[in-house]
Structure 1
Amino acid sequence: MEIQPDKQKLIELAHYKMPFGKFKGRYLVDLPEPYLVWFKQEGFPAGKLGNLLEAMLEIKINGLEPLIRKIRKDFPVDSP
């Protein structure tokens, strides 16, 4: 069984910004790893944000932040 990443979900993850708190407005990839670990210990928020934060923690743990930064650069999203 081969795992295929969803291109659109990776692009969304690369461009998603933290909507609240101390790091409001920062790209999720720019959040400090200890902050994501804290969320894991306390419980990720329900829904889309929680799923994205959990995915970003796995990406950081595995040293894949450069991939997300490249996706953000190579696939720009129009700002509203």
Structure 2
Amino acid sequence: MFNPEILIELANTKMPFGKHQGWLLCNLPEPYLNWFHRNGFPKGKLGMQLATLYEIKLNGLEYLLKPLLKK
């Protein structure tokens, strides 16, 4: 069963490290996600979030996350 809270959290979590530290995950550029896809996503929850975001962007579904952003 799909948990919609996963998408809400994905849309509102900030990148904790690296070149785009502090950016919302949903705003990370595709080339950055492609790099992780090629070189390996981090372990744990962040890796799952980045892998999910990669698939969302790969399939042109970013618009699903925009209404979930907290103001």
CA distance in structure 1 between the partners assigned to 2:38 and 2:10 by the alignment = 21
User: Paired residue for 2:23, among 9, 21, 26?
Assistant: 26
Unaligned runs of 5+ in 2: none
Who is 2:51 aligned against? 54
The two structures have a TM-score, normalised by structure 2, of 0.91
Divergent runs of 4+, >6 A: none
Structure 1 stretches of 5 or more lacking a match?
none
SS of corresponding position for 2:48: helix
The sequence identity of aligned pairs, in percent, is: 52
1:63 maps to 2:44: no
Give the counterpart letter for 1:7 in structure 2. P
TM-score, normalised to structure 1, is: 0.82
**Structure of higher CA gyration radius:** 1
Letter in 1 for 2:29: P
Please, what is the CA RMSD of the aligned residues?
1.4
Residue 10 (structure 1) shift: 1.1
